Structure 1
């Protein structure tokens, strides 16, 4: 089938370069797009297996659904994520444009700063801190196996709510990630091909171990979680799980054009991403539930944190291998998915005062000050974090998709989008701030966050990404319709 994506000409690229755009912002010509179906298939499969995802599943087990329903909910959630990623990525794959330019097409060149800040700073810095903390937990266990005395360092002394060994491990891992961020993190992509298979070997082995020690798959599927909630509608629990999984992918989903701009075709990114997420989450759904419940059965104590299960193993070599995989996965995804976007966004917001390296340092310091260890104190705290991220980025995603499919109807004027900043852009549709997009995003954001402060609206915060996406989507289209009607009336008069 012939590729129907837009083929940018060299003449257009030269014209945009003369207007001051560097190669990072220019549309990618089809000749330079090297990612096919297989590339996208392997892109996300390794990212599914991270500590926060396993921690979230531990929380899901307390929502009252049976283990098999948890697995099914995760697979359905993966389908929702796949559709979100592929649909929001079509502007990137059709025109070869990155996230920053995709945002401009929706919000205007001035209006794009707010959603860019929400994705690049708020979400990225928060995730950077959380990933650093979860990685430091793996590092703490690893150090403890090599140097047991380290775990008793400082006794019961706590600083900012964390033990001295915990704070030391966090600081070490934080510094490592910050240094990699300063270097750009490009070297990490070189071992992704090795890391991804290693992840599945390790977690596949852990699932087999869990089934064996639990006495088979039967006891795992029939396990009843003590203390699980039974006053929540099972249908609503499905929505809560779907919302949490979407919140995990809210940041890369919003900026997915940074990945799909390299697609050989829209079909390639669509088939590859859907297959990647469905297969990845299918395996994750089974392995996560099996490991957490199997480990709980084996050790006679309910455990929602996978690291605590690994720490109970008797084989030190197996513990070290598992923790190294956790560390490598965290470093890889943290640098490219969190600290680098945060640094670039800070550069974009304060170009005269902050360069890339200063952006990395500032984002890293902020991620430390928010004390991310508070986000994993119990099985409920991870929900609060995910729901907050969902509230922040759900409205952005809803506005972007509504604009591209129902306002622009998948047609972008690149000549206007890559405007000459020195020229008169008074009649440029992408100039300034799109008030409808801005109002829809901000109002939806306030609605979603209100559930954290108004008890009667808690139900909204429990499905914050879904609520934010839907409310911004509908509100934006309604505002656009009202604006178009007012313009028609003024023209008629």
Structure 2
């Protein structure tokens, strides 16, 4: 019996050695700060006011979503920290080494989609900086290229190149880049909050803006907004092991994520909501696009500093949240041909074909897209969590992840029961779109997906003859 199959193994997929598991709680805090302090997170929180919510309603929505998020993150983080292996390897335990490719491809597709969205929004900050520095830059907008003005197209290209520079040095550069990128955006957020309080003559008027949603209208908006906010991080719920595999200890990743995700995410969302409320008072309408808001001040110095902070923030989140995951996914698909850096560079090239500048527009679109993403990935998260805690009882056979005749071979590499559970979860997620009479259920697509995916997987696996309970040694040599 082979110890490891080369089609399932390379250095990026192998369990990390102890000396490389050196991320402490501060690293996880700053990584999450870098990920949550970004333009999409700012716009998503601020656009709650655009949906008609009051400040208090928006805050309640954000807090609820983040509490649910951290619970899901914690549940799916433990195995990565325990075994030192990434998501594409861990998911072989539930789907089989061949069956795992299906959720891996879905997750990679969604992550690359998000990369495209974030990169486009970040390129607007690049364009704002260049417009403030280079005379005649904005005049290039009269020349059109791939659906963009030439200035915007050049900004997109420059921002893509910046991503390639960060990716080119692997995960270590990601860790150190995140260490200072996240805190920088807090400074910008605080400055905008101070402006909002000043223009409103105190916090009172900001929180007194009435809600346009009452009764059933609010609860419908609340449901789709919570689902949408969770959908923002639906890919990270799956591939959080790609980060926690570097953890020095379980305690480090638990504490670091607790501070970084619900902690700084809620604070940043509060900043966004307060600032957006201030724009209603100052300009008579909610402005949740931070680049547009900075341009309203008419001060080149303010625009330059603010846009630079947004540029760093978006670069930070895009690499950590939307390049790391598809890079590992592609390495898993072609372990003998790709490594992390090559796969990451391929991911950002593919992302260009999503062309978000042709369709990205308003708050309603944001939440509809986020809801669909959450609904698609929720069942996979449910199956992974159910497999680790309920089926495997917290014990995996490390060697079997890299063998075609091991515990996770199932039938020719496919666990048909996991695929059935995935289909059941997807039907539950999108039943509201399939049957008009049940359209309200689509509001909770992620919850239905993760719940039905997990429950159906547990039920189907009860008859599974193979048990993981005999594998006590979590440090099996491969």
TM-score, normalised on structure 2? Answer: 0.87
Per the TM alignment, residue 175 of structure 1 is displaced from its structure 2 partner at its CA by: 3.7
Distance 1:455 1:147 in 2: 53
Distance 1:136 1:354 in 2: 28
Kindly provide the CA deviation profile for residues 264-311 of structure 1, in whole angstroms up to 9, marking residues without a partner as x. Answer: 322332222122222212311320111111123112333232221111
- Of 292, 297, 306, which residue of structure 2 is paired with 1:308? 292
**1:201-220 to 2 correspondences below 5 Å:** 201-220=187-206
Structure 1 pair 175–38 and aligned structure 2 pair: CA distance change class (3 A):
closer
The one of 189, 196, 212 aligned to 2:175: 189
The whole-number CA distance in structure 1 between the counterparts of 2:336 and 2:85 is: 25
Q: Does 2:30 align with 1:42?
A: yes
Is 1:274 aligned to 2:223, yes or no? Answer: no
Any conservation in 1 of the 2:34–2:317 contact (CA below 8 Å)? no
Which of 127, 137, 140 is the matching residue for 1:150?
A: 137
Tell whether 2:208 aligns with 1:200: no
1:129 is matched with which residue? 116
More displaced stretch, 263-272 vs 204-213: 263-272
1:473 is matched with which residue? 454
With structure 1 as the length reference, what TM-score do the two structures score? 0.84
Output the CA distance in 1 between the equivalents of 2:406 and 2:396: 17
User: CA offset at residue 22 of structure 1?
Assistant: 3.9
Superposed, which structure 2 residues align to 1:345-364 within 5 Å?
345-350=329-334, 359-360=343-344, 362-364=346-348
The number of residue pairs the alignment matches comes to 465
Aligned residues: CA RMSD: 3.1
Describe the shift of the 1:115–1:427 C-alpha distance in structure 2 as closer, same or farther (beyond 3 A).
closer
Structure 2 unpaired stretches of 5+: 468-478
Q: 1:261 aligns with which of 223, 230, 245?
A: 245
Q: Report the Cα offset of residue 75 of structure 1.
A: 1.6
The Cα shift of 1:90 comes to 0.9
Unmatched segments (≥5 aa) in structure 1? 1-13, 488-493
Q: Which of 274, 280, 291 pairs up with 2:275? A: 291
- The whole-number CA distance in structure 1 between the counterparts of 2:409 and 2:37 is 44
CA pair 272-117 structure 1, distance change in 2 beyond 3 A: same
- Once residues 29 and 185 of structure 1 are traced to their aligned partners in structure 2, the CA distance between those partners, rounded to angstroms, is 15
Hey, what's the Cα distance between the residues in 1 that align with 2:3 and 2:333?
Answer: 25
Cα distance in 1 between the residues matched to 2:337 and 2:184: 42
Deviates more, 1:424-433 or 1:80-89: 424-433
1:400 aligns with 2:388: no
Structure 1 residues 412 and 47: CA distance shift in structure 2, 3 A: same
> CA shift at 1:89, angstroms?
0.5
Partner SS for 1:376: coil
Query: Is 1:33 the equivalent of 2:21?
Result: yes
Partner of 1:328: 312
What's the counterpart of residue 440 of structure 1? 421
Q: Is the 8 A contact 1:107 1:430 kept in 2?
A: no
Structure 1 CA distance for aligned equivalents of residues 266 and 12 of structure 2:
35
| Whole-Å separation in 1 of the counterparts to 2:141 and 2:187 | 37
Distance 1:101 1:352 in 2: 15
- Residue 87 of structure 1 corresponds to 75
Tell me the distance in 1 between the aligned counterparts of 2:105 and 2:46.
Answer: 31
Contact (CA 8 Å) 2:35, 2:321: kept in 1 or not? no
Correspondence 1:247 to 2:228: no
Contact 1:189 1:332 in 2 (8 A): no
Distance 1:17 1:448, change over 3 A: closer
Determine if contact 2:397/2:407 at 8 Å carries over to the other structure: no
Between the aligned partners of 2:199 and 2:340, the Cα distance in structure 1 is 49
- Could you say what secondary structure the match of 2:15 adopts? coil
Shift of 1:348: 3.0
Shift of 1:85: 0.8
Shift of 1:211: 1.0
CA distance, structure 1, for counterparts of residue 408 and residue 175 of structure 2? 42
Q: Partners in 2 of 1:404 and 1:146 — Cα distance?
A: 53
- Aligned mates of 1:93, 1:417 — CA distance in 2: 16
Q: Is the 8 A contact 2:107 2:235 kept in 1?
A: yes
